[in-house]
Amino acid sequence: MSERFLVTGANGCIGAWVVKQLLEQDIEVTAFDLKADEHRHLLINHGSMPKAKWAFGDLTVAQDVEDAMAGVTHVVHLAALQVPFCRANPALGASVNVVGTVNIFEAAKKLGVKNISHASSIAVFGLAADYPDEKLSLDAQRLPTTLYGVYKTAAEDVAKVYWNEYGIRSVGLRPHTVFGPGRDQGMTSQPSVAIEKANKKEKFHVEYGGVLDFQYAPDVAAAFILAARTNIDGAPVVNINGHVVGVSDFVEIVKAVSGFSDLTYGTNQLPVVYSADAQDWIDIASPPPATDLEIAIAESLKVFSKSAV
Ligand SMILES: NC(=O)c1ccc[n+]([C@@H]2O[C@H](COP(=O)([O-])OP(=O)(O)OC[C@H]3O[C@@H](n4cnc5c(N)ncnc54)[C@H](O)[C@@H]3O)[C@@H](O)[C@H]2O)c1
């Protein structure tokens, strides 16, 4: 049976890259999101819209999810509300991030879909100060400090229950700081905005400093596709890794690669752990290494410079 992927949150940053990469592999895609929003697709596809089957609906409405999943072999479940949106509207955040995930697994149970990847987050962990080591061990306890982190923790456990009780396989990935074209919202989007501003030669200040695990959006998208194709039993949720470097280092690379020097950064470390062991993911899927940071930033600048939007 040939593959057809359902991508939820298809208009989001990671979703737009997942749709693009699947179509480049000649895979049929059902792209699910609340409503039409072309801006990230146009940005990363140099002004044209990808030829996916569009399914607009609400993740919190079970029937919308079931309708979108009809005829699908694989699911990449990304739709969610990020930290600021969960903070602004906690009930909606719980509804989208938790109930929405339940709807995905219920539809998968009903329709017999067993290849699912879903987005958790590094936010299931606590503050760096909560752990003895700088690099979180594989068995580090989840200690979420935001509602978003609590919802993602619940969603991880939802996936495990659907494996234990119904044999629905899934792999959850916990991205950290996704960067690149299309990353224009959420707490850690500012380094990506710095790349966009450098391309336009517009001054920009990243409000924080410290260290983050920078993960290139096309790499993360490829990881979600790989995870959905991993036919392993269980419902593991794993950390993925990119480049654990200072915000200052990142911005200095943007300055060097773009030749634009009017970019600055703060000093405060965001209250998140910044490095987590990704060995479980390597063992499960043998992912390719992260794209070199300079190459990723140079590619990103090129996308922004070619953009028609
Ligand atoms: N970007 C990061 O750095 C990062 C880090 C860790 C985890 N994640 C997780 O990865 C996933 C994708 O992240 P992203 O950066 O692409 O997010 P994004 O905010 O760019 O996109 C999320 C998409 O979900 C859609 N959506 C929201 N509510 C919906 C609903 N009720 N029904 C249908 N669609 C809905 C939005 O319209 C949006 O297009 C999310 O689950 C996010 O929590 C992202």
Q: How far is ligand 1, taken at its centre, from the CA of residue 5, in Å?
A: 17
Q: What is the pLDDT of residue 22?
A: 98
Closest approach atom of ligand 1 to CA 60 = 31
Closest approach atom of ligand 1 to CA 13 = 16
Give the tokens for residue 238. Answer: 């794993």
Is residue 150 a part of any domain in this protein?
yes
Mean pLDDT of the chain: 96
Residue 252: CB partners within 8 Å, gap ≥ 6? none
Q: Best mutation site among 17, 34, 61, 272 for ligand 1, i.e. most ligand atoms within 8 A of its Cβ? A: 34
The boundaries of the domain holding residue 66 are: 4-177+216-241+273-290
Q: What is the pLDDT of residue 257?
A: 97
Selection from 2, 1, 37, 3 nearest residue 15 by Cα:
37
Is residue 33 a part of any domain in this protein?
yes
DSSP state, 97?
A: I
Q: What is the pLDDT of residues 233-264, one digit of tens each?
A: 999 999 998 999 999 999 999 999 999 999 99
Distance CA 231, CA 228 (A): 8
Number of domains in the chain: 1
Residues facing residue 215 across a β-bridge? 178
Per-residue pLDDT for 164 more than 80?
yes
Distance CA 107, CA 100 (A): 11
Contact 50, 27 (CB under 8 A): no
Closest approach atom of ligand 1 to CA 96 = 31
Alpha carbon nearest to ligand 1 atom 34, residue: 33
Q: How far is ligand 1, taken at its centre, from the CA of residue 77, in Å?
A: 9
Q: How far is ligand 1, taken at its centre, from the CA of residue 227, in Å?
A: 17
Is residue 297 a part of any domain in this protein?
no
Q: What is the pLDDT of residues 113-145, one digit of tens each?
A: 989 999 999 999 998 888 988 889 999 999 999
Is residue 193 a part of any domain in this protein?
no
- Which position has the token pair 């938790």? 98
- Neighbouring C-beta atoms of residue 66, cutoff 10 Å: 17
Residue 164 sits in a domain whose CATH number is 3.40.50.720
Mean pLDDT of 36-63: 96
Distance CA 44, CA 181 (A): 7
Is residue 295 a part of any domain in this protein?
no
User: What's the pLDDT band for 289 if we cut at 50, 70, 90?
Assistant: very high
- Which position has the token pair 């935001």? 146
Is residue 87 a part of any domain in this protein?
yes
Q: What is the pLDDT of residues 15-24, one digit of tens each?
A: 999 999 999 9
Angle, alpha carbons 30-33-38 (nearest 5°)? 90
- Neighbouring C-beta atoms of residue 284, cutoff 10 Å: 16
Per-residue pLDDT for 108 more than 80?
yes
Q: What is the pLDDT of residue 132?
A: 85
Residues facing residue 214 across a β-bridge? 177, 243
Q: Best mutation site among 8, 43, 82, 95 for ligand 1, i.e. most ligand atoms within 8 A of its Cβ? A: 82
Closest approach atom of ligand 1 to CA 123 = 6
Is residue 187 a part of any domain in this protein?
no
In the structure, which protein residues have their CB atom closer than 6 angstroms to any atom of ligand 1?
9, 11-15, 33-34, 58-60, 78-82, 96, 119, 121, 175, 177-178, 183, 185-186, 188
Q: What is the pLDDT of residues 188-222, one digit of tens each?
A: 999 999 999 999 999 999 999 999 999 999 999 99
Closest approach atom of ligand 1 to CA 97 = 41
Per-residue pLDDT for 309 more than 70?
no
Q: What is the pLDDT of residue 270?
A: 87
18-22 long-range contacts (CB < 8 A, ≥24 apart) are 18/76, 18/78, 18/221, 18/224, 18/225, 19/50, 19/52, 20/44, 20/45, 20/50, 20/221, 21/218, 21/221, 21/222, 21/225, 22/225
Closest approach atom of ligand 1 to CA 189 = 3
Is residue 70 a part of any domain in this protein?
yes
Q: How far is ligand 1, taken at its centre, from the CA of residue 38, in Å?
A: 15
Q: What is the pLDDT of residue 249?
A: 98
